[in-house]
Structure 1
Amino acid sequence: MCVGLPMTVISSDEHTALCERRAEQRQVSTALVGEVAVGDRLLVFIDSAVRVLDEDEARQIDDALDGLAAAMEGKPFEHLFADLIDREPKLPEHLRPTNP
């Protein structure tokens, strides 16, 4: 199974970007997202950027990944899912039933 990771662009050229996440650097293809700028946050799967993220979305993904790791280690994790606390889960719009 692949997990997409938020990474930050530290340099780029026409088709690739050098990205960093927690002190690890990777050369990433940007063929699917087009031109990127230094500081952009990208969702990366197997060394390919699949989407440009805004800062809030990148933080939520990082928090969720940290929360899963904490839960697996038996550590507190609820605070890392703050966006889910005190609300009912909702299906994305495209998965909700339509009324005839």
Structure 2
Amino acid sequence: MCVGIPMQILDCDGIAATAADGNREVLIDLSLTGPLPRGTWVLTFLGTARAVLPEAEALLILDALQGLRDIMAGGTGGDAFADLDARTPQLPPHLAAAQASGRTEG
């Protein structure tokens, strides 16, 4: 399994950039996004930026990843998943439509 890591662009030189996730700085490949300005948040997989992220979304993902690290170390995860705590589970649209029409089996 590959986990996407949000990183913020610190410096860009064509399709290569230095980016940071708060703990470390790395060189990332921007071939899929093209050159990006300093301060842009991207979702990276295996050293490659795959998508540009709004800052708020990047910070939520970083908090969730830190929460997972805390849980794996025996902690509680704190409020890393607070945005999900008050949310009720939702069915995908095709299953919600089937449920609304009274279907009870696949």
TM-score (norm 1): 0.85
What amino acid is the match of 1:87? R
Gaps of 5+ in 1: none
Larger radius of gyration: 2
What amino acid is the match of 1:5? I
Residue deviations 1:42-64 (CA, integer Å, cap 9, x gap) = 11111100011111110111111
Q: Distance in 1 between matches of 2:39 and 2:49?
A: 14
The equivalences for 1:1-100 within 5 A come to: 1-91=1-91, 95-97=92-94, 99=97
Q: Distance in 1 between matches of 2:57 and 2:90?
A: 17
Q: Distance in 1 between matches of 2:90 and 2:5?
A: 23
Residue deviations 1:22-81 (CA, integer Å, cap 9, x gap) = 242211111111221101111111110001111111011111111111111221214111
| Identical counterparts, % of pairs | 35
What amino acid is the match of 1:80? A
SS at the partner of 1:36? Answer: coil
Gaps of 5+ in 2: 99-106
TM-score (norm 2): 0.81
State the Cα RMSD in Å. 1.8
Q: How many residues align?
A: 97
Query: Which structure 1 residue ranges, 4+ long, deviate > 4 Å from structure 2?
Result: none
